[in-house]
Amino acid sequence: MRFHPTIIGRPLILFVMSGFIGCWVSYQFALSWPLFLTLLGSVSLFFYLVNVPAPRQSIVKLVLIATAFAAYFVTQYAHFAYLAETGRLAQLGHLTSRFWPNLVFFTPQVNAVAAFLEGAFLLSLSLTRQASGRARWLWATATFLIGYGLLLTDSRGAWVGLAVGLLILDFRFWKSKIENLKSKIVIGLVLFFLLAYGLNSTAQTATSRLTLYRNSIYLLGDYPFTGIGLGETFALVYSRYQLLIPVPFLTYSHNLFLAVALGQGILGILAWLWLLISFYRYVWQVESAVFDTESPIFFRPAWSAVTATLIHGLFDAPQFSESHWTMPMLFALFGLTIAPVGQASCLSANDRQDACPTKSALIILIFLLPTSYFLLPTISGAWYSNWGAIYQTQADLTPDLSDSARQALNRQAIYYFEQAIQVQPTQRVAHRRLGLMALQQQDFITATYHLEIAYTQEPHNQATLKALGLAYLWTGQLTAAEPLLRQRDDLAEVIEELGTWQWWWGTQQRHDLAALAGEMAQRLRE
C-alpha cells in the first residue's frame, strides 16, 4: 500500500507554499533561502520515507547517523568552548571528552543537539529491545551514546518530551500484569525525575520565556498574513520593532509554533496545525485498530519520537532557526510513522480520511463567510498594515540599499499604513509604526499623536509602552513618560539605554534632550 496524500501530504504542500511566501517577503533573501531549501529537502525526505519498501533499514540508518553525531558531540564537548554551559553536567562533559583530540569542524548549539537526538534515542531503544545476541549489545551501545549526548545537553525541554515519549512507547508495559511491578517502579522513578527536573528547571526560566512569547505574539500581530520572513530574520526584526533597540538580542522565538507563524504567517501556521491534526488523527486510528493486539513494529516508537520532539518544541525551536540542520530529523520521524509498516494495519482508516479535509474546509468556509462580513474593516486594516510593516522592515533592515531606494520603500510603507487607518481609524499597528517612523525623524509631536492611539488599543504591548514613553520624554512630559517606562519588563536595560541617549543627544548638541534623558534615568532608579 502506498502513502495516501490526504493524511499529511496536502498540508505539507501548503506548508512549502507558505515557506516560499516567507522567502518572498524577507528583508534579506540570503537569510531565508537556506532554511527554505532545508524545508524542501525535509519534505522530499518525508515523501521518500513513506514510500520506501524497507522502512526498518531507514530506521537503522537514521539511528546510526544519530549515533555518529552523538559520538562527535560527546568526544568533542570540551573543545566546543560552550562558555554559557556551566554546572555539573558541563563539568562531566569536559571530564569525559578532554582526552580526545580536537576534531571540531562545526560547533552545534546544545538545544539543537537535543532536538536532533531525542527522537533517535527512542528508535534506538526499540532496536535494542528487538535485537538479540551481539546485535543487542551494538544497539545498546548506540542507545547509551545517544542518551549520554542528550544528558550533556542539559536540555530540560528535551527531557520533558523524552519522558512523555517513553510513556507512549511503553504503553502496553504499563497495562501489563502485577509481576512487572519492580520494573514499573524503577522506570517510573526515571520518568518522574525527567519530568520533575525538566519542568522545575523550565519553571525557573518561565518568566523570561513568557515575556519572549508575549512579545513575539505582539510582533506576529504586525505581520499576521505573511510573517516576518523565513529563516534568520527574527533577531533584527524583534529587536528593532519590539524591543526598539538597533542590535540583535535573541536569535529566535524558542517556540516551534511561534517560529512557524512568524516565519510563514497565517498560511504557514494553519498548514502546520492541519499537518499535526491529520497526523495524530491517523495515529489514533492506527492505534485504535490494533488496540488489543501488537502495534506494528516501529509505529509507536516513531510517533512517540515525533511527540517528544513537538513537546520539546514548546520550549525551543532550533528547526526554524540557525540550527535548521535539525529539521530533516523531524520530517524523517513523520515519514517513518506513516511508512508501510504502519499503513498496512490501517487501510480502512486511511480511506476514511479521504473526504475529511474537503468537508472540514467547507464547514469552516460556511462559518467564516458571514463572520468575515462584520470583521471586514479589521481584516482590511490588518492586511494593509501587514504590507506597510513589510515595506518598513525592508527599508530599515535591507543592507546595501541606496538612499533613494530606502525612501521609496518608506513611502510605500506610509501609504499602506494610511490605507489601514482609512479603513480602520484605530488600527493599532499602523499608528504604532507611523509613530516609530516619526520618532526616528525626531517629529515627536506626530509620534505622540499616533502612539497615543496605538496605546488605547494595546496598553500592554512593550513596544508601545517604550515608544510612547520616549515620545512623552522628548516632549518634556516626564510625569506621563515615567509610568509607561516603568511597565517595561527590561527596566534595568531601559535605564542603561537612557544613559546612552543622554550621551548621544549631547553629541548632537541637544543638551535639553540629554538633560531629560538623565533626569528620567534618575527617576527610574529611585
Q: Helices 55-76 and 110-130 meet at what angle, rounded to 10?
A: 130
Q: Between the ranges 6-15, 88-97, 367-376, where is the mean pLDDT highest?
A: 88-97
Question: Residue 343: pLDDT above 80?
Answer: no
Q: Which of 126, 118, 137, 131 is nearest to 172 (CA)?
A: 126
Cα separation, 103 vs 24, in Å, equals 38
Question: Residue 357: pLDDT above 60?
Answer: no
Question: Residue 304: pLDDT above 50?
Answer: yes
State whether the Cα torsion 304-305-310-312 is positive or negative: positive
Least confident of 50-54, 145-149, 450-454: 50-54
306 vs 170, higher pLDDT? 306
Q: What is the dihedral of CA 190, 312, 309, 12, to 10 degrees?
A: 160
What pTM, to 2 d.p., does this model score?
Answer: 0.87
Stretch 157-171: mean pLDDT: 83
Question: Residue 349: pLDDT above 70?
Answer: no
Q: What percent of the chain has pLDDT over 70?
A: 83
Helices of type H across 345-402: 347-352, 356-374, 376-397
Stretch 487-506: mean pLDDT: 93
260 vs 361, higher pLDDT? 260
Question: What is the model's pLDDT at position 316?
Answer: 87
Q: What's the pLDDT band for 352 if we cut at 50, 70, 90?
A: very low
Least confident of 116-125, 296-305, 341-350: 341-350
Stretch 132-147: mean pLDDT: 93
Q: 3-class secondary structure for 400-422?
A: CCCHHHHHHHHHHHHHHHHHHHH
Question: What is the model's pLDDT at position 185?
Answer: 53
Q: What's the pLDDT band for 129 if we cut at 50, 70, 90?
A: confident
Least confident of 84-88, 198-202, 324-328, 347-351: 347-351
Whole-Å CA distances, 340 to 8, 63, 168, 195, 295? 14, 19, 21, 33, 13
Cα separation, 260 vs 230, in Å, equals 9
Q: What's the pLDDT band for 195 if we cut at 50, 70, 90?
A: low
Question: What is the model's pLDDT at position 402?
Answer: 93
Stretch 324-351: mean pLDDT: 72
Please state which of the four CATH numbers 1.10.10.1100, 3.40.50.1580, 2.40.50.320, 1.25.40.10 is assigned to the domain occupying 377-525: 1.25.40.10
Question: What is the model's pLDDT at position 249?
Answer: 86
Question: Residue 309: pLDDT above 90?
Answer: yes
Question: What is the model's pLDDT at position 177?
Answer: 44
CB 63 within 8 A of CB 120: yes
Stretch 11-29: mean pLDDT: 94
Q: What percent of the chain has pLDDT over 90?
A: 65
CA 250 to chain centre: 12
Least confident of 110-119, 165-174, 255-264: 165-174
Question: What is the model's pLDDT at position 262?
Answer: 96
Q: What is the dihedral of CA 372, 375, 377, 381, to 10 degrees?
A: -90
Cell numbers at 379, concatenated? 481584516
Stretch 328-333: mean pLDDT: 96
Question: What is the model's pLDDT at position 84?
Answer: 79
Whole-number average pLDDT of the chain: 86
Residue intervals in the chain for CATH 1.25.40.10: 377-525
Stretch 433-461: mean pLDDT: 96
Cell numbers at 175, concatenated? 497495562
Q: How many CB atoms lie within 10 A of CB 291?
A: 8
CA-derived radius of gyration, the chain = 26
